[in-house]
A and B are shown apart, each in its own frame.
Chain A
Amino acid sequence: MILVVAAMFTLSMILAAVLVGGLIPQGLPSEVYIDRFGEYLARLLLMLGLDDIYRTKGFFLLGLLLLVQLAVCTGKRVLMLRGNSKLWAAGSVLLHIGLLVFLVSTAVSLWWGKSLMVEVPEGKTTELTKQGVPFDLRLDRFLIEYYPGSHSVRQYRSDVTLLLAEKEIKQASIEVNSPLEHEGAKLFQMSYGWLLEGSVRQLPDGKAEPFSILNGGWFRAGVNQDRVRAVIMGDPDKHPSKNPEAAFLLLTESGDRQAAVVAQGTSEAAGELEIRFDQIRRYSGLQVKQDPGIAGIFAGLTLSLFGLMIRYAPLGGKKDL
């Protein structure tokens, strides 16, 4: 009985913690909390880690506690099963074993699983092997499919080639909802967009430094390392142009602002910088994931579901268990 009380206590604590995360928005910058909850309350909240509660030590500890209690409970259930031949009791055991498999696999996944996001420009290769992935990846072509007669995206796709030491080992396509798996690494189609490519030169006689930046992104340039934002004018997806223009916004340390609109293949001065805009290039946002826990997670949950079904099957015959 003490075991049950303890497990119920843990479950209630987990419920409370999950609820806190459901009421306080998670993972926002600290200023947002100060703005919303006031200085004092926000500091307390940040100190306790309530802005990212599911990654606090306390939450992990609760999970661990649940795992231990579940293991003991399940062990007891298995022992009790020997004197009880009822099917629903076996269902209950199956259900808890499944949850155990699930929790252990989740721990494996948290510990050994890893994932990274890459933005691969069309025609380029990213060296994933440097990050511990068993292959490099080249984006051969990126395609967007629209619903007929509209600008609503129906599907998008990356045609890629997997490489090992510059040797092609596999060609395949990755779509939303249709990832590619190879040698334990899985590739997901996450996003897409445009890169701006060009170079920046400090006036009057600096050397040109090339840049390649996501549309709307910031980079630093010049001797003062000023912040520069690059934005494509218009939407190249909806209105492709043979000669696109890009706007550059320059922010100096002293708070000075300069802007320049640069046509493709030309350069313009912005403050003490000369910005050259060469071209835009399509990129595909991919996630690369290696997770040894994932099979166990889904196997455990599926097993639990079967157990749950068997456990409560007699209710269909109106018995109250």
Chain B
Amino acid sequence: MIHWEAYLLLSVFVVYVGGVLVFSLRNWLGSNRLIAAGVLLAGVAFVLHTGLLLARGFAAGRLPFSNLYEFTLVFAWATMLIFAFFAVRFKLLASAPLALSLTTLLVGIAAMMPRDIRPLMPALRSGWLQSHVASGVLAYGAFAVSAVLAVVMLTRSEERDESSEADWAVKYWRMPELAELERYVHGLIVFGFFFLSVLMLTGAIWAEETWGRWWGWDPKEIWALVTWLIYLVYLHGRRRFGWTGQTTAWFSAVGFFAVMFTLFGVTYLLPGLHSYK
């Protein structure tokens, strides 16, 4: 295998693990300096991660979008990006240990997959590949962050740390009210649902052009539909039945489970047309 890629992949993984450890330590020791260190590590890891994707793209001569290894890396990258946006915009750094763990896990899973760059088979040589995969990345990244926040909702204790130091670190490390978290989860799911719909529409148009059928009950398609229906029920339940709190958090967690199953479960357990390992 190409050496630089293995080394770069390893360093991305190690720095992410460092970030997870430092952020987790912050919760134990309560030292605000650790927040800065954690942000620094996560930032370095993200830059390396970006570099890895760019290098891979240049080596392959195309966007790194065409097998499970590449997709998993881009998915992890988008999860980080969307989480970073949320963490800064809505001051949610306290959930960083969890979000970073998920990213680290994804990078770890990717590291176990074959990395050889193979030429595209005829069916994949289509302009739809980019928009199909890009919308998948955005949808999955948003669902991942929504699941992270949902897990925070499900596990957080009711008593809150009322230390009233007003420096920036504490401000960014605060944990918002459940109702506020729930609103973020909803927003992320709406974003993800839109791009999941784009994913399925572009996939349908592409499949119609390539195989002459826009839908074929392929395992990947079935599980994408399962995911879509779970979030569809969630959106209607929240709007029409006023579901809140724990119920919506469970939907977010279960929905993300379906996402992960669509990505990894289907590929390894239920092979079909989409098993581009």
Contacts and interface: CB of A to CB of B under 8 A. Distances in A.
Interface string B234-252: 0011011100000000000
Given A8-B237, A18-B229, A287-B212, A312 B126 contact: no
Contacts of A54: 217
A222 interface: no
B119 A18 contact: no
A301 interface: yes
Contact of B194 (A4, A289, A308): A308
Contacts of B204: 297-298, 301
Given A176-B123, A177-B122, A4 B236 contact: yes
Interface stretch (B49-57, B158-166, B218-226): B218-226
A33 B169 CA distance: 58
Contact of B209 (A22, A152, A177, A297): A177
A14 B123 contact: no
A27 to B, nearest CB: 8
Contacts of B237: 8
B201 A153 contact: no
Interface centre among B183, B210, B237 (most CB of A within 10 A): B210
B236 A177 contact: no
B236 A154 contact: no
B60 interface: no
| Dominant secondary structure at the B interface | helix
A194 interface: no
Contacts of A178: 209
B142 to A, nearest CB: 12
A176 B210 contact: yes
Nearest to B222: A22
A315 B187 contact: yes
Interface in B85-107: none
Interface string B189-214: 01001100110010011001111111
Interface in B36-81: none
A22 B194 contact: no
A147 B119 contact: yes
Contact of B226 (A19, A155, A301, A315): A19
A11 B236 contact: yes
A237 B214 CA distance: 31
A292 interface: no
A34 interface: no
B118 A152 contact: yes
A191 to B, nearest CB: 11
Interface in A294-321: 294, 297-298, 301-302, 304-305, 308-309, 312, 315, 320-321
Given A11-B236, A12-B233, A305-B201, A188 B212 contact: yes
Contact of B197 (A12, A152, A304): A304
B222 A18 contact: yes
Nearest to A287: B212
A86 B214 CA distance: 34
Contacts, number: 102
B273 interface: no
Given A4-B236, A8-B236, A176-B210, A152 B125 contact: no
Interface residues of B, number: 42
Nearest to A153: B122
A316 to B, nearest CB: 9
A312 B233 contact: no
Contact of A26 (B217, B223, B230, B236): B217
Contacts of A18: 222, 225-226, 229
A150 interface: yes
Contacts of A26: 217
A11 B194 contact: no
Nearest to B214: A297
A294 B230 CA distance: 26
18 contacts: A8-B240, A18-B225, A19-B226, A22-B226, A115-B212, A115-B213, A147-B119, A152-B119, A154-B119, A177-B210, A178-B209, A186-B212, A298-B201, A298-B205, A298-B208, A301-B204, A305-B201, A315-B190
Interface of B: 118-123, 125-126, 183, 186-187, 190, 193-194, 197-198, 201, 204-205, 208-214, 217, 219, 222-223, 225-226, 229-230, 232-233, 236-237, 239-241, 270
Interface of A: 4, 7-8, 11-12, 14-15, 18-19, 21-22, 25-26, 54, 115, 147, 150, 152-156, 175-179, 186, 188, 190, 287, 289, 294, 297-298, 301-302, 304-305, 308-309, 312, 315, 320-321
Given A11-B233, A177-B125, A320-B186, 17 more contacts: A8-B240, A22-B222, A25-B219, A25-B270, A152-B119, A154-B119, A175-B122, A176-B125, A177-B123, A177-B126, A179-B209, A179-B212, A188-B211, A298-B208, A305-B194, A308-B193, A312-B190
The 7 closest A-B pairs by CB, nearest first: A176-B122, A188-B212, A15-B229, A22-B222, A287-B212, A147-B119, A177-B126
